[in-house]
Structures are given as structure tokens and as C-alpha cells.
Structure 1
Amino acid sequence: MAAGRGAELLRPPMSSGRATFLELFFDLAFVVALTRVSQRFADLSNDTGWALVTGFGRTLLLFLALWLIWSHTTWITSRYEPERSVIQAVVVGTMFAGLVMAVALPRATEERALPFAAAYLMVMLVRPLVVAAALRGHPRRLVPFRLAAWAAASAPLWLAGALGPERLRLPLWAAALAVDYLAWALGWPLPWVGASAVHSWRIAGTHLADRHQQMFLIALGESILVIGTVFSGTDYSAERAAAFGVAFTTSALLWRTYFHRAGLLLTEALGRARMPGRLGTASERTHLLIVLSVLVTSVGYELVIDHPYGPPRPSWLLFVVGGPVLFLVARMRLEYEIFGRVSRSRVIGVVALLLLTPALVRGAPMVGLSVVAAVLALVVLLDALRGRGRPSEVSASPIGREAPGDRDSEA
């Protein structure tokens, strides 16, 4: 009987795959967070050498912590019924914690370390316990208990990093985050209880795809916000206007490249997969790279619009060229996940950008961004030529096919 009451929390087979308005509301906190991440990356533009490496590492760590919060929430709403009041309370509470993390993020590795860590731990520790209590006697309650147990194991590292010397903060938090990601990859194994591999979970695959696509659009929207904000806040000139136009064109090309075939068919692929959790796990990692690449690219927009023909700075190529390269590599991975192949256009784009990078070191920032836009335009053109006159493809993912012994142990 208890299991029956707890089962009310699970997503029914006929549940809508579309994201709820609450989830879209939840994403607003992460719009703020991604903007803060982008700004932290931008603050590194004048750094070189070891300062650039450590600064990039700190910001990447904070981004990965935010991504873990967002991704866990997405899996929760894909696994449980988001219209239930308990799940809605969980989402709203997570949104508040995410907003606290976003507010603390600009100085999260300095004097605001404790609020950032406390908000993170509130989600990782308290949220699974609430879900476990709501599941009552249902067998799936063991999954959130696993999450809480592993979060408790990494909590001392988060708190020691927040309260201890600043020089130890980065290594302690890196170790804590490694524990959290390792636990997720292994299925949060516990003695006598075993593990619950995420890829074997029963989820609403179409919902998960919808959420990943929305997060990409949110990141792309953040880049548009950067373009508009930076251009409106600087003195007008023809050079800055041209940089504004090239930056917008680059974002439009990123959108087109993502949604051409593979990105558009992500929902279909997850909906058709026998094991949507397996494909969803791969897609989540791919979209982590895609979102990160868009954030890094948006920093390049800011630098170029501010100083389109300023003196060349090699470190700027990390953002102007590095972001688009990472995007194309991640997009190649997405294409493999959907079709089991990789188009030559993506490979050509990556190779072209890598070969041109040494020459761009001595060029003005505007030249670098223009070359990036031209290469992305070439990728889009090759995609269009390849698809001309051919019937629309259907997803044929090599991931998500059920293997012997695969099952959801808490189903």
C-alpha cells in the first residue's frame, strides 16, 4: 500500500513530454547564473600564463557545480511527475538555492564562498531526502537515499574549502566536485544496497530532450544579451557596429548548426530509444560541453565589440576561437549520438579553425571573429548542400539500445 502511495509521484507513461511552466520559471535563476559565469570568464581577458589557467579553472569549477544542480533537477522532473506539489516545492526550493549561488558566484572563490557552498549542499543533501520521504515505501526511495549519502560524503570537503584558507579552496572544491560527479557516473553505490545506474532509469525521454534543447537556447540567449549589452554600453563607431553584426551572425550560425538534423531530432531519438536513460546520460554530457562552449564564445563577443581593432592578445583566442572549436567538437558528438556518424562538414570546420589559429595570433580581434563566422558559415553551407534533394533522415542512435541485463532496479 505504501508503495502504491509513493507511486503517485512517478511520471505516468502518458505524461506530457513538454516542460512545465514551473520548469521554465526555474530556468530564470540559471539565466542569472550563466550571465555571472560569462562575466567571470570575461574578467580573465587580461590575464596570461598561470593566472589565466587558474582563473579559468575556478570559473569552470563553479560552472560544473551549477550544471550538476540543473541537470539533477532535469532528471528529477523527467522521472517524477512535475505537477505534484512535492516535486513543485522541490523545484522552487532548488531555484532559490540556484539564485543564491548565482548571486554569490562573482566572488564565490573569495569572500562569498560559504553562501555558495551552503546553497549547493542544501540542494544536494536536503532535496533527495524530501523526495525519499514523499516516495514513502516505494522501492525507488533508495535512489534519493543514495544521493544524500554521497552528498554527505563530499560535504566536509565543500565546507572545509569554504571555511578554510583561500589557497586550499580550489583543490578542496575540485576534490568535492570530483566525488559528486564520480558518484553520479557510478550510480551512487552503497554497501549492501548496490548502485542505481542513471542510464537504466525509466524516464520521460522526450522531456529530457526538451530540457536540453531549452538550456542550449538559454545559453544562446545569454550570448545575445551580451552582444546587445556591450554594444549599447560603448561609444558608437562603425568598427563596433561591424563587430556587433559579426557577433550576432556567429550566434545565428551556432543556432543553425545545432538544430540542423541532429539537434532537431534529439526529441525523436530519446522518444524512440529502448533505454532513454542511456542516451539521455550521453546527451547530458554533450550539452554540458555545448553550453560551456556558447558561454566561452560570448566572452569573445564582448572582447571584440569593446576593442574590434585593438592590439592582438593571444589569450583572447581562447574565447574567440576556442569556444567555437569546442562547440563543433560537442556538436560532432551529438551527431554521433543521434545518427551513429559524424558529418565531414564539422571535421572540416574544426580543422580549419585549428590551422588558422597561429595566423590569428597576430591579427586584430575583429579579424579572428570574422574568420570564425566565415568557417561556421562554410559548415552551414556544406550541411545545406549535403541535404539538398535528400529525404529527411530519421534518428538511428547507436546509444540507448537495450542490452541483456539492463533494467531499472528501483522501477
Structure 2
Amino acid sequence: MSERHRDELVRSEATRQRATFLELFLDLVFVFALTRISARVIDDFTDGQRGVYAGLGQALLLFLALWAVWSLTVWSTSWLDPEAPIVQTVIVMTMVGSMTMAVAVPDGFGARAPLFAITYVSLQIGRVIYFHVAGHGRPDPRQTSRVLFWFGLSAPLWVIGGLADEGTVRGPLWTIAVLIDYTGLLLGWPTPRIGAQRIGGPMIAAEHLAERYQQFLLIAIGEAIFVIGLAFSGSEFHADQTVGFLLALATTVLFWRIYFHVAGGLLDAAVSRSRSADRLATDMAFTHLIMIAGIVLSGVGFELFVTEPLGHLPAAWLIAILGGPVLFLVGRSALEYQVFARVSRSRIAGLLTLGLLTPVTLHLTPLAAGAAAAVVLLGVAAADTRRSRRHPPETATPPY
């Protein structure tokens, strides 16, 4: 294999760092996918046929599968030239497969489980094989072997779980399959004889990767706004519902503010300056996964306190109303450590306060519980503002 042929696919210094329009087009599919995940969880909280905890577990597995598809695509386009025809074809394949998985989400543990599982396996394995064949093994045939080895371990579990008639079998099989897939992603697909190597390794385009993480987090906030608008537009526009609507919108603004305050805007600098850029980029994928899950779960909470602001507050609703902000702050704290090798006290204080509020909010209305969560987030954002005014602008100092 010549270096010239290899460089036809690998990004060069001249390759544009911004996401291409085709990549943004792919993101539209995941906007829809998040709405399906959110709608499914809302049904679990309000309908109760599956049960809240079982429904949350099922939704989490479906969400993790979709995130694995998106993450693998982003790492690939941050290493390879997204303008190359082979890479563009893979992105289109991902769009079609992800859309098919998304439409299966509402009944992804029922009648459409085979469709979801077979599409996931076909997409993850099929695009790796296509890329290897169409690219004549470029740029790294060993990476193809690594990825196929790990997906080969999880694929039977996905397919058998999808085809199983007994729903109680599906959950454990898919849980093991997800653990295998994410272990491979986290460790760089360690494979006998050829070892481990994360996609792209040190050649990852930091600016592109950072922008893609930022864009997906904004997609999650946009999905929450969609849920808020849908809930309020279907309400009676009573005063309490209007307050819930405004409170939910304010909370999304706080998510945006807390995320992008300093650390969220320095992802590219952190990856560029890291001594282990591929490891840091992988770890950032997991922190964004946690934050996005928190925002989606918060969106469910918005639906609950906008539609029934002064009604009875079931204890399970606090999983969404308080648990969503908790997940967001956990992920944001981890991101801050990845960028600055430290965690602000305001993040820790916010998490402790939300934990202490849990037994208190059990005796409040859904709207009051949502307001309590918003006040905590407001306190974190205010602490960030005070810190910025008292200290000079920070630069990224990743811990590794």
C-alpha cells in the first residue's frame, strides 16, 4: 500500500475542519431518533404499561445503540476526509440505517425488536466491510479486523435477542451486547495478535471532533425544546402551565450556558494539547453521552411538569425532574476535568444540593420540583460567572 493511496482517504492539513453539510444532514436523523426515545420514556412515566424502571432500562439500551452508531461515524469522519466519495457513501448508509432504527424505537423491545437489532448489526458490520472493500484495505486493514472482531462478539447477542419470543431474554442479551460494544469503543478494540488502536489514533482532527460533540449536545437541547413546545401547545394555556413552559425554557438556557461556559468551548484545544489525544477524545464521547442522556431525561421532566404542574407528584417522576439535571452535571463535571484537570466546587455543590432536595421535593408539586432543579442550575451558572470575573481567561490543560 503506497502512502499516496493512503492519503487519499486520511485527512490532510488542508482538509476543512468544519462539519460538512452531509454530516449535518445525518444529524437530522438523530434529532428524530431522540424524539422517539423521549416519547417512549414519557409514555413509561404516564402510561405505565411497561413500568417506569423497565421502560427506562429498555430506552437506555436503544439510546446506547444509536449513540454507538453516531460516535463511530464521528470518529471516522474526524480521521478520514468526509469529502471522499467512499466516506460520503458510508455516511449515507448510516443515515438510512439510523433512520430505520429510529422508527423502530417506539416498539423496539416488542414487535420491532428484530428490525432494530438486525439493522444495527447490519449497519455496524456492513459499513466496515464496505469501507474495507471499496477502499481496497485503506488506510488501515488492521483496524477493520479489530472492529469486526468485536462486533462479531456482540452481533449474535443482538440478533438472538431481537428474534427471541420471550421479552425477558432480550434485555439481558442486549445488555451484554452493549457492554461488549462499549468496551471495544473505550479500549480501542484490543484484538489478539494485532493489539488495540482507537480509530484515527493521534491523527484525529481535534477541531472537527469537538464541533461534532458540541453540535450533538445542541441537538439534545433542541429536542428538549421540541418536547416543551409540544407539551405546551397541547395544554389549556392555564397560568400554571404557562409558568411551567417558561421554567422549562429557562432550564434549557441554563443547560446551554453551563455547558459552553469555558470548558465546552475549549474541547478542540484540549484534544490538541493532550498527550493522548485519542484517549481524551474517547473519554469525551462518554461524558457527552452522560450529558445528552441527562438533557433528554430532563425533557421528559419538562413534559411532566408542563402538562400537570400542580398535580400529584409520583416519586418516580423525580427520576426525570431531578435525575436529568444530575446526569447533566455529572457529565459536565467530568468534561471540566478532561479540559482543565480540575472540577469546580459549584458543580459538586450543585450535585449535593440536588441529592439533598430529593426527599424534600417528594412533598411538592411537579412544578415546584422543576423550579427547585432550575434554581440549582441557576446557582451553578451564577458561580461560573463570578469565577470568570475574578480570574483571567483559562487555557485548556488536559490531565493526560
Q: TM-score range by the shorter chain?
A: over 0.9
Partners of 2:104 and 2:139 in 1: CA distance: 37
Indicate if the aligned counterparts of 1:157 and 1:175 stay in contact, CA closer than 8 A.
yes
Indicate if the aligned counterparts of 1:199 and 1:276 stay in contact, CA closer than 8 A.
no
Partners of 2:141 and 2:339 in 1: CA distance: 32
Q: Label 1:191 to 1:279 Cα distance change in 2 as closer, same or farther (>3 A).
A: closer
- SS of aligned partner of 2:310: coil
Per the TM alignment, residue 68 of structure 1 is displaced from its structure 2 partner at its CA by: 0.2
1:123-134 mapped onto 2 (5 Å cutoff): 123-134=123-134
1:150 and 2:150 matched:
yes
Matched to 1:104, the amino acid is A
Q: Percent identity?
A: 43
1:8-407 mapped onto 2 (5 Å cutoff): 8-46=8-46, 51-138=51-138, 140-165=140-165, 166-198=167-199, 200-399=201-400
- Between 111-120 and 150-159, report the one with greater CA deviation: 150-159
Partners of 1:82 and 1:336 in 2: CA distance: 30
Q: How far does the alpha carbon of each residue in 1:363-406 deviate from its partner, in whole angstroms, 9 at most, with x for none?
A: 1000001111111111111111121143211111113xxxxxxx
Indicate if the aligned counterparts of 1:132 and 1:142 stay in contact, CA closer than 8 A.
no
- SS of aligned partner of 2:51: helix
Q: Label 1:243 to 1:132 Cα distance change in 2 as closer, same or farther (>3 A).
A: same
Q: How far does the alpha carbon of each residue in 1:139-176 deviate from its partner, in whole angstroms, 9 at most, with x for none?
A: 61210232123212222111111111222111111111
Partners of 2:200 and 2:20 in 1: CA distance: 23
Partners of 1:290 and 1:317 in 2: CA distance: 17
Per the TM alignment, residue 193 of structure 1 is displaced from its structure 2 partner at its CA by: 2.4
Per the TM alignment, residue 187 of structure 1 is displaced from its structure 2 partner at its CA by: 2.4
Q: How far does the alpha carbon of each residue in 1:284-306 deviate from its partner, in whole angstroms, 9 at most, with x for none?
A: 11000010000000000000001
Matched to 1:345, the amino acid is S
Pairwise CA RMSD = 1.8
- SS of aligned partner of 2:97: helix
Matched to 1:12, the amino acid is S
Indicate if the aligned counterparts of 1:6 and 1:134 stay in contact, CA closer than 8 A.
no
Partners of 1:26 and 1:137 in 2: CA distance: 25
Matched to 1:115, the amino acid is L
Q: After TM superposition, which residue ranges in structure 1, 4 or more long, deviate above 6 angstroms?
A: 47-50
Per the TM alignment, residue 272 of structure 1 is displaced from its structure 2 partner at its CA by: 3.0
**1:405 aligned residue:** none
Matched to 2:141, the amino acid is R
Partners of 2:327 and 2:200 in 1: CA distance: 25
Q: How far does the alpha carbon of each residue in 1:330-365 deviate from its partner, in whole angstroms, 9 at most, with x for none?
A: 111111111111111111111111111101001100
Per the TM alignment, residue 273 of structure 1 is displaced from its structure 2 partner at its CA by: 2.9
Per the TM alignment, residue 3 of structure 1 is displaced from its structure 2 partner at its CA by: 5.1
**1:404 aligned residue:** none
- Between 287-296 and 182-191, report the one with greater CA deviation: 182-191
Partners of 1:189 and 1:262 in 2: CA distance: 31
Matched to 1:385, the amino acid is R
The normalised TM-score by structure 2 is 0.96
Indicate if the aligned counterparts of 1:18 and 1:206 stay in contact, CA closer than 8 A.
yes
Partners of 1:25 and 1:199 in 2: CA distance: 23
Q: How far does the alpha carbon of each residue in 1:185-238 deviate from its partner, in whole angstroms, 9 at most, with x for none?
A: 332233332222458442111111110000000000000111111100111111
- SS of aligned partner of 2:391: coil
Per the TM alignment, residue 183 of structure 1 is displaced from its structure 2 partner at its CA by: 2.1
Q: Structure 1 unaligned runs (5+)?
A: 400-411
Partners of 2:276 and 2:136 in 1: CA distance: 26
Q: Label 1:137 to 1:99 Cα distance change in 2 as closer, same or farther (>3 A).
A: closer
The normalised TM-score by structure 1 is 0.93
Per the TM alignment, residue 13 of structure 1 is displaced from its structure 2 partner at its CA by: 2.8
Q: Structure 2 unaligned runs (5+)?
A: none
Indicate if the aligned counterparts of 2:337 and 2:398 stay in contact, CA closer than 8 A.
yes
Partners of 1:45 and 1:322 in 2: CA distance: 14
- SS of aligned partner of 1:362: coil
Partners of 2:27 and 2:58 in 1: CA distance: 23
- Between 334-343 and 387-396, report the one with greater CA deviation: 387-396
Q: Label 1:292 to 1:87 Cα distance change in 2 as closer, same or farther (>3 A).
A: same
Indicate if the aligned counterparts of 1:300 and 1:319 stay in contact, CA closer than 8 A.
yes
Partners of 2:217 and 2:280 in 1: CA distance: 17
Indicate if the aligned counterparts of 1:6 and 1:136 stay in contact, CA closer than 8 A.
no
Indicate if the aligned counterparts of 1:47 and 1:315 stay in contact, CA closer than 8 A.
no
